[in-house]
Amino acid sequence: MSVIKSFSVGEGDMFYIEHNSDNFTVIDCCYDEDDSRDRYFEEIKSKSQNVGITRFISTHPDEDHIKGLQEFCNTVGVSNFYCVKNEATKPEETESFKKYCELRDDSKKAFYLYKGCSRKWMNQADEVRGSAGLFCLWPETSNENFKEALQKAKDGVAYNNLSPIIEYSAENNITALWMGDMEHDFLEKIKDEVQWPKVDLLFAPHHGRASGKVSSDVLKKLNPFIVVIGEAPSQHLDYYNGYNTITQNSAGDIIFKCEGEKVHVYCSNYSYNVGFLKDENKIDTDIGHYLGTFCPKENE
């Protein structure tokens, strides 16, 4: 069994993956109130404490993706920090950004993501443990558009387009895709250099904003069964008409529990419902409000 959880953290991102292979992964960090760290960080600490390999993937150093990183390190700890290699600076450095730079530049903890990279147990298995099923589809470090994004980050101007494209593939089950805050205009420039997989679950880039809209030709290749729309203000969102969507503004925390060949979907808002999932009566109040079930193989 594996679990993907997307926390409702306001206008930010924070996810974790409980793998079925002695791996645990956190993607980004954000909390909006001082007391919320108990809900987020303590849960992650509890879920990950008996796992052999844990990793933290940082998509980019905007505050809504690293807020509270120093407290995360104090509460949970970070021994493997994955990010795109960069020299980002900021005119005013927050404590979160200082911690990001410390981890990014730590030769013992940092692992730099790039298209096609491999690492034991990220996507390589051995006799000790299985693969986490994580694959990096972007960046192509020689790409001129990416080099321009690196320079803007170094100049302290912009950071969104540092975001890698990360695929998670659970054996015989779900395939999910994260794109951080990659912007639509940048994606249009580099889309032909990415080998787009068929996915079951797409976390819409830039919190679902129209400024991060995935174009129709890329969506056709991805063919996601569900698009998760993030928590940007509603007036800035693109609702991906024609696709099944779960809107985090309304759903709250979203949980995808992968069992066998099925995925059971839950959320924290007991008033939220969708009509495109099958009802298999998988009620589990310890997880949340049951929304329904789907089978990834049926959507191929």
Q: Which long-range contacts (CB under 8 A, 24 or more apart) does 289-293 make?
A: 290/264, 290/265, 290/266, 291/246, 291/251, 291/265, 291/266, 291/267, 292/264, 292/265, 293/262, 293/263, 293/264, 293/265
The residue that leads in pLDDT, 32 or 235, is 235
pLDDT of 38 higher than 70? no
Q: What is the dihedral of CA 140, 102, 182, 2, to 10 degrees?
A: 90
pLDDT of 275 higher than 60? yes
d(CA 81, CA 111): 6
Mean pLDDT, to the nearest integer, of 185-208?
Answer: 98
pLDDT, tens digit, 9 for 90 and up, residues 69-88: 999 999 999 999 999 999 99
Mean pLDDT, to the nearest integer, of 203-212?
Answer: 96
Percent of the chain with pLDDT over 90: 90
Band (pLDDT 50/70/90 cuts) for residue 33 is low
Instruction: Give the CATH number of domain 2-299; options: 3.60.15, 3.30.160, 3.30.200, 1.10.260.
Output: 3.60.15
Give me the DSSP letters along 68-102: THHHHHHHT--S-EEE-------SS--HHHHHHHH
pLDDT of 251 higher than 80? yes
What are the CA-CA distances from residue 292 to residues 100, 205, 255, 295 (Å)? 37, 24, 11, 11
pLDDT of 246 higher than 70? yes
Residue 36's pLDDT is 58
Residue 50's pLDDT is 92
d(CA 121, CA 143): 27
pLDDT, tens digit, 9 for 90 and up, residues 100-147: 999 999 999 999 999 999 999 999 999 999 999 999 999 999 999 999
> Domain map of the chain by residue range?
2-299
Band (pLDDT 50/70/90 cuts) for residue 11 is confident
pLDDT of 32 higher than 90? no
